[in-house]
Structure formats: structure tokens, C-alpha cells
A and B are shown apart, each in its own frame.
Chain A
Amino acid sequence: MSLAETFQLAVKNILGSKMRTFLTMLGIIIGVCAVIVIVGLGNGMRGYIEESFADMGTDTLTVMIVGRGSSRSVSEEEMYQLVADNADTLKQISPTVTMSGSVKIGSDTHSTASITGVSEDYFSMKGYTVAQGRGLQYTDVADRKKVCVVGQYLNMAYFGGNAVGQTLKIGGTTFTVVGVLEMQDTELEEGGSDDCVYVPYSTASRLSYSGTLSNYTLTVQDTDRISEAKALVEEKLYAIFSDDDAYTVASMAEMVEEMNNMVNMIIYILAGIAAISLVVGGIGIMNIMLVSVTERTREIGIRKALGAKESAIMRQFVIEAATTSSLGGVLGIGLGYALSAAATSVVASVMPDTPITVSPTLLAVAVAFCVSTGIGIIFGYLPAKKAALLNPIDALRYD
């Protein structure tokens, strides 16, 4: 009896009792579906995180100097020197000064814009291009000029697209707009990446009364060697402070990775919990197969009398169990896809700002299918063994 025929027979038997088969499969269906949706959700979250961090630059290191009391600090020049001394690893540096407060344009007050003090290199480090006017220049920084470059949102919303040459006020100080950046997001929105003002860091530092510069953004020569670059900067800073609490060096790539690891861990735990239902489903299959063997004792007796070997009976029941559970797996995958699509649209309507696409991975689907089939084989084994070992004489006499 060939495998294909055994399989056909299994399908026939399964179709013979649809309700029972469906209930038997339910555990597997739910388990597989849950695993697929959870893994898909994790996948979506990971995708979302990567996407939101990608434009922040994965070749970027952020250095924050806390200092050690007042005894020792690092000056701007020292930081520049550090980059210059390690030019084969580090590329560019820009101090960053984050200013709070709102922007006043004419009589309008706009409070969502991010106001950052940066160096003349900052735009090229970040890959920003200037759409109108010019970017910041060395002399702007050196002379603490009151000039600024605005994002496309401010340009369109407040200056009617002609911001260059006009003025805005930050904390009472008037700045002349010298340039407008190219649009970065796909659409202009309040609080988005295009809602920003960049001023020379020297000017920003003076206005915000922060004596020393404490935040720097660095770019590296090779994105793949960002960990090395990070270690290098840390080493240099440690040499200055002899205290690793005095500074923080963060790489965006590492942060993304760390967050991904966290998401992954949560996903693995949730998927593990969902997988328990697969085991429960497997036990359900075993239970029903044992009942089935008892019910079909006479059939087994007849088949044995007609020449079925133990292996043939065994195979018949194992394949029947495996077919049941893999069918459950297929239905679970289908349901998982449907629920993933539903979850995606629910997330989209509940949290329009965080568009997470619940996308089941092919790997998860393949694993779910194999695991459900495997469960059928494992939990079908015991009942099949019981069937195979039946004594044909007793089995024939069984009513």
C-alpha cells in the first residue's frame, strides 16, 4: 500500500466525520493562528522601528557629556580634535544644542517645531539638502550670527513658500531665514521631520545660557564598523574622565538593534505561550485517535486478517493523525493571515500615527506547518502503535 493511497484513505476517513475532525483540529488551528499573528505583529513592530529610525541615520553616533562635577570637562575643540585625530574611523562632528520654546512668525506662535543648534557640517552629515537659499556656514557659527534654516513645513505653512530672507523669533531673538531644507517626510505635518528650525550652535548655546556644549553628533566612515567607532570614542573619553558615568555614547544602529532584540524577546515569549496550545491540540488529536482506534477495532482486525502488516496499520493511523493536524495547520495559517490583515487595519484605525503592518513571515508559516504536522505524527504514534499491536482474532470478534 503506497503512501499516496494511505494518504487518500486518511482523507476519506477525515471527511467521513467532518465535525469531529474539525473539533479535533481546533486546538491546532488556534495555536498555529496565534503563532502566526504574534510573529507577524512582531515583524510589523520591527519594521516600524527600523523605518522610524532609518532616517535618523545609522552611521551616526550621539555623544552626551555629563562631566564629572566641575573638575573636568571636554571642550568643543577637544571633541573636534578627537575626530580629526581619528579620521580613518570618524568622519564629521557637529555639536547639537536643543532649544525649547516656540517660534514666533509675525503674530503667529508655533510651538511644535524642533529648534536645534548645529554646526555647518550638520546637514551634510545627516544627508539633508537645501532646497532654497543656503545652509549654515562656518562664519555663521564663528560670528554667532542670528540666522536660521527652516524645514519645508514652516516654509509652506507660514511663509507661503518664500521663507528665505524673512524673519522669525525664537525666545524674543529675531533670526533671518537663510535657507529652506528639502522635504524629508512623504507629507508635511505639524510636529513631523519638516517642522524644524536649525540655527548655529554657537548662537543657540548663548541664547539658552548653557555654558558648555554637552551634546555632539558624529558620523563614522564605515557604517558596518560603527561598534568599533563607538568603542574608540568611549576609549578616548574614558582617557579624559577616567569614569564611564561621565559620558554616554549611543549609536542609532545599536539602539535599533537593542529595541529589536527586546521586541524579539517579547515575541518569542508570546509565541511560546501560543505554542502551548499546539501541544494541547496535539493531545486532543491523540485522544480522538485513541477513540478512533477503539471504534475501528473490527476494521483493523479485518485488515490484518486480509494481510495488513503491523507497519501498514501503524502508517495508516499515523498518517491520519498527521493529515488531521496538518490540515489544522493549513486552516490555522489561513486564519492567521486573515487575522493579520484584520489586525493591520485595526491598528491603522486606532493608532494612525504608528502604522504597524502585521505581516506573517514565510518562515513562520513554514515552521507552523511543519510543527503541526510533526505534532500529528508524535501524538498519533501512540494510538497507531495500539492499533498495530491489536490481536487480529480479538479484533475480528470485537463489536
Chain B
Amino acid sequence: MSALIEFRDVCKTYQMGDTLIRAADHISLQVQEGEFVAIVGQSGSGKSTCMNIIGCLDVPTSGTYLLGGQDVGKMNKNQLAEVRNKMLGFIFQQYNLLPKLTLLENVEVPLMYAGMPKAERRERAKLALELVGLGDKLRHKPSQLSGGQQQRVSIARALAGEPAVILADEPTGALDSHTGREVLTMLQQLHAAGNTVVLITHDNSIAVQAQRIIRLEDGRVIYDGDAHDPQAVVTPGAAGLGMGREAGA
């Protein structure tokens, strides 16, 4: 069986003034269905670029990205939007809930763009919110919730569409360590339930919660293996081993 996510020599370059920035430099990797993978790296290591490409928000400059066997690089904007909608569930550091909508409506947004009928959408969104323990706050607005609760809403939103991949970008970055742990536990539960989870973080202590770590530096993969291997958390030549939480994203 082919991998769910497959990078073949993926490069991404940006022109910034006169300098050409190689954000991804011939990255090749595979993620199988049902895996819990953390992509770790310092700021500027290329993990955000990786996450954008995996999330179909961006396409590689060269190389091939296959998601569920489909070549994303060859897709137009509409097809990309459709893939994001059907195959990916996003969890963002800043939750990114729509402030004017209720929790229920927030969770419904991706289902709405999928063209699901209203009644079914309602039902699915309700179930997803119950799953993250917010079944009693369906009509609340995001601003009435704590950070941890908002992140749970965004997890519910990511789950509701039953995507192939759950893509979590620094999901604990804006949370205190206690609620951060809760969110991580939830991701582990999702993994245990058979979901494929890709976690993007700069924080080793969070990365080790995953099953497998892919470490990036300067746009290259420098480690890809078991999260419990001591090598996984070694950052050669970097400014610190980063076992604690670091400020900033």
C-alpha cells in the first residue's frame, strides 16, 4: 500500500529581495495511514513550509507531493480547496475560530463548504463537539471560552469532516502547560482511534508525545525515526536542546 503522505525531493524556494531562500531543500518523506508524526524544527528550519505544503495551502517549487496518491503539485486552486476540505483537518496555534459564529456554526464551516445538507451538518458538528467535551456549549461564541476550550473546538472542527490527515500546527503554542497536555492527550486519543496525525512544533517535549519524529533543519530532514530514540531530540549545533517550552512560535 502506498503512503498517505509522500514527499519526493520536494523543494520550495522564495525570492526575498535579492536572496533566494530555500525553505525546503529536497525533502523526501513518507507518512503511512494511522501514524502520529511530529515534524520538529527551529524557526526557519522549514517546518512551516512543510506544513503549508502538506496542508495544500502551498505547492512545491519542484519535486512531487502525493496526498492519498494524488499529485497535489498539479492541482489548480479549486482542486486544492477541495482537497483541503475533504482530506485535511487543520488545528492552528491561534485556534482560528470565526468570532461571530457559535461553536456549532464554527464546526459546521468545513462541512458547509463540502456541500453537506444543513441537518446532517448540524448533527455531525454536534457529535464532534460532544466528543471534545463541549456538548453543553453549542450556542456559545468562541470569545466566551478559555484558550483550551477554543482549541478543543478547533479539534472538533478538524474532526467533523472525517479527514484523512489531522494537521496540527503548534496546537499547544498558545496554551499553558496543563491545557497543552490535555490537547496533546486528545491528539493521542485521536491517533489511538485510528486517525493519522501530523503535529508541527518547535518544542521537543511536545514532539516526543508523537510516535515518530521528523526533524528539519535548514530545509532538510536531519532525523526521521522513532520518537523515543534519544537521537530524535538532539539538535546538532543548535542553540539548546530545547527540552522545555520555548517562547514564541
Using known A-B contacts A1-B113, A392-B57, A393-B52, determine if residue A309 contacts B82 with beta carbons closer than 8 Å.
Answer: yes
Chain A CB within 10 Å — which of B52, B57, B82 has the most?
A: B57
Residue numbers in A under 8 Å from B190 (CB-CB): none
How many angstroms between the C-alpha atoms of A306 and B96 in the bound complex?
11
| Cβ-defined contact, B98 with A310, below 8 A | no
How many angstroms between the C-alpha atoms of A302 and B113 in the bound complex?
12
A303 at the binding interface (Cβ < 8 Å): yes
A207 at the binding interface (Cβ < 8 Å): no
| Cβ-defined contact, A303 with B109, below 8 A | yes
Residue numbers in B under 8 Å from A299 (CB-CB): 98
Using known A-B contacts A393-B52, A393-B57, determine if residue A307 contacts B110 with beta carbons closer than 8 Å.
Answer: yes
Residue numbers in B under 8 Å from A78 (CB-CB): none
Name the distance in Å between A379's Cβ and chain B's nearest Cβ.
24
How many angstroms between the C-alpha atoms of A396 and B90 in the bound complex?
12
Using known A-B contacts A12-B100, A393-B52, determine if residue A306 contacts B78 with beta carbons closer than 8 Å.
Answer: no
| Cβ-defined contact, B92 with A1, below 8 A | no
Residue numbers in B under 8 Å from A304 (CB-CB): 81, 84
How many angstroms between the C-alpha atoms of A312 and B92 in the bound complex?
22
Residue numbers in A under 8 Å from B114 (CB-CB): 307
Using known A-B contacts A1-B113, A309-B82, determine if residue A393 contacts B58 with beta carbons closer than 8 Å.
Answer: yes
Name the distance in Å between A298's Cβ and chain B's nearest Cβ.
7
A16 at the binding interface (Cβ < 8 Å): yes
Name the distance in Å between B200's Cβ and chain A's nearest Cβ.
13
B115 at the binding interface (Cβ < 8 Å): yes
Residue numbers in A under 8 Å from B84 (CB-CB): 304-307
Residue numbers in B under 8 Å from A16 (CB-CB): 100
Interface size bracket, A side: 20 to 34
| Shortest Cβ distance from B110 into A: residue | A306
B77 at the binding interface (Cβ < 8 Å): yes
How many angstroms between the C-alpha atoms of A392 and B169 in the bound complex?
15
Contact with A along B159-198 (1 / 0, CB 8 A): 0010000000000000000000000000000000000000
Residue numbers in B under 8 Å from A261 (CB-CB): none
Using known A-B contacts A16-B100, A298-B96, A396-B96, determine if residue A310 contacts B78 with beta carbons closer than 8 Å.
Answer: yes
A-B residue pair count with CB separations less than 8 angstroms: 61
Contact with B along A87-125 (1 / 0, CB 8 A): 000000000000000000000000000000000000000
A308 at the binding interface (Cβ < 8 Å): yes
Residue numbers in A under 8 Å from B92 (CB-CB): 396
How many angstroms between the C-alpha atoms of A298 and B96 in the bound complex?
8
A166 at the binding interface (Cβ < 8 Å): no
Which residue from A301, A302, A309 sits with its C-beta under 8 Å from B81?
A309
| Cβ-defined contact, A309 with B57, below 8 A | no
Contact with B along A355-399 (1 / 0, CB 8 A): 000000000000000000000000000000000000011001000
Residue numbers in A under 8 Å from B52 (CB-CB): 393
A13 at the binding interface (Cβ < 8 Å): yes
How many angstroms between the C-alpha atoms of A301 and B52 in the bound complex?
13
| Cβ-defined contact, B78 with A309, below 8 A | yes
| Cβ-defined contact, B81 with A307, below 8 A | yes
Contact with A along B77-90 (1 / 0, CB 8 A): 11001101110001
Using known A-B contacts A1-B112, A396-B92, determine if residue A307 contacts B82 with beta carbons closer than 8 Å.
Answer: yes
A85 at the binding interface (Cβ < 8 Å): no
| Shortest Cβ distance from A13 into B: residue | B100
A187 at the binding interface (Cβ < 8 Å): no
Chain B CB within 10 Å — which of A5, A306, A311 has the most?
A: A306
| Cβ-defined contact, A306 with B113, below 8 A | yes
How many angstroms between the C-alpha atoms of A167 and B161 in the bound complex?
102
Residue numbers in B under 8 Å from A311 (CB-CB): 78
Residue numbers in B under 8 Å from A306 (CB-CB): 84-85, 90, 109-110, 113, 157
How many angstroms between the C-alpha atoms of A304 and B52 in the bound complex?
13
- Report A's interface with B, CB cutoff 8 A: 1, 5, 12-13, 16, 298-299, 301-312, 392-393, 396
Contacts A304-B81, A306-B85 aside, 4 further interface pairs with beta carbons under 8 A come to A306-B84, A307-B110, A309-B78, A396-B96
In the A-B complex, the 4 residue pairs with the closest CB atoms:
A307-B85, A307-B113, A306-B110, A309-B81
Give 14 pairs: A residue, B residue, CB < 8 Å, sorted on A. A1-B113, A5-B112, A5-B118, A13-B100, A304-B81, A304-B84, A306-B84, A306-B110, A307-B82, A307-B86, A308-B113, A310-B78, A310-B81, A396-B96
